[in-house]
Structure 1
Amino acid sequence: MAEHTGRERTAIVIGGGLAGMLAVTALRGHVDTITVIERDRYPTDRTFRKGVPQAHHLHIFLSGGQRALDRLLPGTVAALTEAGARSLYLPRDLVTRTPTGWQRRFDERRHPTLSITRPVLDAVVRERALRATAGPATRVEVLEATEAVGLTGDARRVTGVKVRARNGDRSAGTARELRADLVVDASGRGSRTPRWYAELGREAPQEETVDSGLAYATRMYRPTAQDGEPAVGVNIPGWPECPRGAAYIPVEGGNWLLTLSGVRGHHPPTDEAEFAAFSATIGDPYVHELLARAEPVSPVHGFRDTCNRRRHYERPGAVPDGLLVLGDANCTFNPVYGQGMSVAALGAVALRDTLDAAGGPGPGVLARAQRAVCRAADPAWIAAVGADRPYVRGVGAKAGLGERLTTWYLDRLSARAAVDRVVGAAFRDVFCLTAPPSRLMAPHVVLRTVLLPRRPGLPRLPAVVEAA
């Protein structure tokens, strides 16, 4: 709980989206007041807002992220389901087409994946987060249409945030300073904290990027009434020999989202007719055939900012006292892998657990919390970078020996996981962020991956569900 030393302990959270609301929840009870700085005005209903540029695309919560979300805000997964989110078990209800063929549909019922549109997700989480902080322990104020334009303090310590009101798409008026004992940057992929470091007299944190050059485009469809919904959601990632992919997954309201993707030279078009034609060029005809029995109910929306970017705030001296960086502002993944929201939730749990163990944000506690936040992102970073590295060009294209061995092993393991119950279970535990990467190095998993012959997947999407 917050320490009371004769004055209020205050916090500022930059960003009022998903990561920002999770940060508010993590800080609850450890500070007296929280001010949230949000560039947009929240919509009055559950509609898209400009400040979430990826909002029109697929969003999933992996099982590890769902567990973290319910630890922070008990009952939220159920609330999302009540709002229409679809729960799909891997690999029974959401099946991947690997380079060697389709997965077998094992009925494990261990890893539900929650699929929902971003406006509904954000609204449910925001409503529950603000309701949870409505008691006397912590007061929360959200400053909508307000932009953070800098940090205050010096190279040693951050003391607050400089903000300016926004009028539509433009900043208006004079910047003012808001003081705080701690600041959380949860502003997402566009975080400006590295640039603000110069104003504090600090060097920007070391940054690591792996950019596959992937872009994707998404359109919403509704299956025609006479045919009903497809039996399963599908994921058909690209591979070097066929660098175009697709995912077709149900969301609330009886709608499905189709995301088409491709790396350099293979970017999907946003023209509606060309978008449908592009679906015929991916590595399996299943999705293209489904479109003949579905009605489009939205325009096509494109997205290209898919670089994996990690800023090493966890390294000694990389953050001044009073600052913590969370979510995509800390570590950004290629969104096509669906990890970002789950990692944000796991990072918020790491922040809360650190504060709980220390009894509040005392000296050195935020630095420990930052290291815990970064550790929570490690498994997702390893998976995303390993998948994207084969497509990288120029600077960063060459991986070290350790990463090359890891990529080779993961490639063989993912192929084995498509047909092998034992290896598949371990692979899904790690991919869904419920087990550390060391789970993939368990002796029985290594032996089955390396010594057993590499078997192809199934030639077509299986209709039969097999016992786990």
Structure 2
Amino acid sequence: MPEHTARGRTAVVIGGGLAGMLAVVALRGHVETITVVERDRYPAGHAFRKGVPQAHHLHILLSGGQRALERLLPGTVAALTDAGARSLYLPRDLLTRTPTGWQRRFDERRHPTLSVTRPVLDAVVRERALRALGPTTRVEVLEATEAVGLLGDARRVAGVTVRDRATGTSRPLPADLVVDASGRGSRTPQWYAELGREAPREETVDSGLAYATRMYRPTDEDGEPETAVNVPGWPECPRGAAYLPVEGGNWLLTLSGVTGHHPPTDEAEFAAFSATIGDPYVHELLTRAEPVSPVHGFRDTRNRRRHYDHPGALPEGLLVLGDANCTFNPVYGQGMSVAALGAVALRDTLDAAGGPGPGVLARAQRAVGRAAESAWMAAVGADRPYAHGTEAKAGPGERLMSWYLDRLAARAAVDRVVGGAFRDVFCLTAPPARLMAPRVLLRTVFLPRRPGLPRPPGTVETT
């Protein structure tokens, strides 16, 4: 975009985490000045910070998220790998126990997945995002500062009111556009009332799932597992576990369970809980590892979608990105990838329109909503059976789709064709329609259900 078209335009990004930094990159060249409003102070190095409540838990970047990240910040995946992130190809490098048995290890080499701790991910992306701005866009980061309201009226947002967390002093911060990337705790629906607008329609599906995570280190060289392991819960055994490598030779174990089956945060009981999931394999691995961190719990796992993408739901000058727009049960590992895809959708819309003119951000918000659709369908479909009340009710179309997806998931564990389509959609590289391709549909509906493998597979299938 020519530099003169951005001259004089200003933007505020609420939230300086992953989604906020990617929003900064998406706005590059379309505004002259960006102010990032961040509640925390950034730690030195790769350290945890209080404002990221899930920071101690597993984080993965799916192949679709990696592609989006590379479009925004080329070379970042390599930088994360250099910082210690572990790359796992699905399904070769992740043993998965399904309700019908273990998934076969097809060597597809199509879906690399990065497993990394959140401090490393945030620090690498932040450093590269701020360095990549170039001469046409300036950025200022206001640390230890929080947004406490939107400026403007029901028709148009004109900036934010910010408050210094140390002094309590508030001041207006005018801007031509505002991006809310503040995460699950976004207050934009409440701020709508102050502007004289109705909050957007909201959908929620809450399985009641909670999870707990602890870091381990193999006790000797022979103790490191050959592959990562995933044993998700299912209705007959609603407890699960995921055991994945991260940087520094460490492994993260996350245990999960729905209401009535929540994993303990007591250190003495944590490992014992791993023996109660649907397969003993993970519990056996722990006999060859030692804990190197406390146990950290997390319970805010509801799926929630706010329909800022509906006609008339967004005032001019505002866009909502990442978890502030659509949050998923974190146990499925989709949130960071969806944030990256949403930032690409924002950038592509701005590029096509030549900048943030009238109606452009509403168009971008619809693109952000489409970028989240596959992840929403997968998370809600998996969590709906555990929900209660009105959230448990699915219409005829969703019930039919749930029946189909149940058969498809079972078939995917043993069928290379169906499994490939399933991973394309789950890893956010193909739309949900990929699951209805004729070849996939016929194999799912008409071939008999077959059980998975009885034990974790040690053989990789290359053909």
- Assess same fold via TM > 0.5: yes
Q: Does 1:266 align with 2:235?
A: no
Counterpart residue number, 1:18: 18
Deviation string, structure 1 residues 119-177 (Cα, Å, up to 9, x no partner): 000000000000001x211000000000000000000000000000012xxxx323110
Per the alignment, do residues 44 and 456 of structure 1 end up closer, same or farther by CA in structure 2, a change over 3 Å counting? same
Q: Deviation at 1:395?
A: 2.5
SS at match of 2:122: helix
Q: Deviation at 1:224?
A: 1.1
Contact 1:221 1:297 survives alignment (8 Å): yes
Counterpart residue number, 2:395: 400
Deviation string, structure 1 residues 320-350 (Cα, Å, up to 9, x no partner): 0000000000000000000000000000000
Deviation string, structure 1 residues 395-445 (Cα, Å, up to 9, x no partner): 311111111111111111010000000000000000000001000000110
Counterpart residue number, 1:173: 168
Q: Deviation at 1:7?
A: 5.9
Counterpart residue number, 1:76: 76
Give, in whole Å, the separation in 2 of the partners of 1:19 and 1:92: 29
Counterpart residue number, 1:457: 452
Give, in whole Å, the separation in 2 of the partners of 1:187 and 1:6: 25
Q: Deviation at 1:2?
A: 6.3
Letter of the structure 1 residue corresponding to residue 175 of structure 2: A
SS at match of 2:392: coil
Contact 2:6 2:32 survives alignment (8 Å): no
Give, in whole Å, the separation in 2 of the partners of 1:41 and 1:277: 37
- Of the structure 1 ranges 219-228 and 248-257, higher mean CA displacement relative to structure 2 is found in 219-228
Counterpart residue number, 1:54: 54
Counterpart residue number, 1:155: 154
Q: Does 1:336 align with 2:331?
A: yes
Counterpart residue number, 1:127: 127
SS at match of 1:363: coil
Counterpart residue number, 1:43: 43
Give, in whole Å, the separation in 1 of the partners of 2:456 and 2:185: 39
Where do residues 92-241 of structure 1 align in structure 2 (5 Å cutoff)?
Answer: 92-133=92-133, 135-167=134-166, 172-241=167-236
Give, in whole Å, the separation in 1 of the partners of 2:458 and 2:163: 56
Give, in whole Å, the separation in 1 of the partners of 2:246 and 2:109: 19
Contact 1:217 1:259 survives alignment (8 Å): yes
Identity of aligned residues (%): 86
Per the alignment, do residues 221 and 5 of structure 1 end up closer, same or farther by CA in structure 2, a change over 3 Å counting? closer
Counterpart residue number, 1:354: 349
Letter of the structure 2 residue corresponding to residue 364 of structure 1: G
Q: Deviation at 1:257?
A: 0.3
Contact 1:2 1:31 survives alignment (8 Å): no
SS at match of 2:34: strand
Give, in whole Å, the separation in 2 of the partners of 1:5 and 1:56: 42
Q: Deviation at 1:226?
A: 4.7
Give, in whole Å, the separation in 2 of the partners of 1:394 and 1:7: 52
User: What stretches of structure 2 of length at least 5 have no aligned partner?
Assistant: none
Per the alignment, do residues 6 and 228 of structure 1 end up closer, same or farther by CA in structure 2, a change over 3 Å counting? closer
Contact 1:3 1:360 survives alignment (8 Å): no
Letter of the structure 2 residue corresponding to residue 95 of structure 1: L
SS at match of 1:189: helix
Counterpart residue number, 1:29: 29
Contact 1:248 1:256 survives alignment (8 Å): yes
Contact 1:222 1:294 survives alignment (8 Å): yes
Letter of the structure 2 residue corresponding to residue 143 of structure 1: L
Letter of the structure 2 residue corresponding to residue 406 of structure 1: M
Give, in whole Å, the separation in 1 of the partners of 2:412 and 2:219: 34
Give, in whole Å, the separation in 2 of the partners of 1:467 and 1:287: 25
Q: Which 4+ stretches in 1 moved above 3 angstroms?
A: 2-7
Counterpart residue number, 2:412: 417
Give, in whole Å, the separation in 2 of the partners of 1:405 and 1:294: 44
Contact 1:62 1:112 survives alignment (8 Å): yes
Give, in whole Å, the separation in 1 of the partners of 2:208 and 2:328: 13
Contact 1:2 1:32 survives alignment (8 Å): no
Q: Does 1:304 align with 2:299?
A: yes
Give, in whole Å, the separation in 2 of the partners of 1:277 and 1:348: 41
Counterpart residue number, 1:368: 363
Per the alignment, do residues 339 and 5 of structure 1 end up closer, same or farther by CA in structure 2, a change over 3 Å counting? closer
User: With structure 2 as the length reference, what TM-score do the two structures score?
Assistant: 0.99
Contact 2:103 2:452 survives alignment (8 Å): yes
Give, in whole Å, the separation in 1 of the partners of 2:284 and 2:44: 38
Counterpart residue number, 1:85: 85
> How big is the alpha-carbon RMSD for the aligned residues of Structure 1 and Structure 2?
1.0
